[in-house]
Amino acid sequence: MSKSIFYCAYKLKKGTSVADFLSTSEKLNNEYISKQKGYISWEQWNDGDTWADILLFETMEDVKAFEANSENAGELAMNFYSFINLPSCKVHYYSVERAYGERKNDA
C-alpha cells in the first residue's frame, strides 16, 4: 500500500499571531499527532493568506483513523483550532502514487 496524505487548506482568524499559531501547532504535533499510528510527518505551508497542512501517514487507514480520533487530542486540538477560521477549511485525502527525490524540512 502507498503512503497517504491528509491535506487541509484553511485561513487563520484575523489578528492571529503566526508565531503563537506555529508554537501551538508544534505542541500539538509533539504531544499528540506524532504519536498516531502510521504518522510520518507534518508540514505546514503558507502562501500569505491560505495555510495548508500536509500530514503524511503510512496508509489510508492510518489517515482515516487519525481524523476519526482527532477529537481525542482534547485541549491541544482546541488550542490549535482556536487560531483557524473553521468555515474556510477544505480537507482532502490523497494516496501517494509516485514520489521523486527526497523531501527535506528546511524550515
Range of the domain at 22: 4-95
Tell me the pLDDT of the chain (107 aa) as tens digits: 589 999 999 999 999 999 999 999 999 999 999 999 999 999 999 999 999 999 999 999 999 999 998 888 899 999 999 999 999 999 999 999 988 987 665 55
Number of domains in the chain: 1
Domain harbouring 26, CATH code: 3.30.70.100
Buried b (16+ CB within 10 A) or exposed e, 4-22: bbbeebbebeeeeeeeebe
Residue 76 lies in a domain: yes
Residue 104 lies in a domain: no
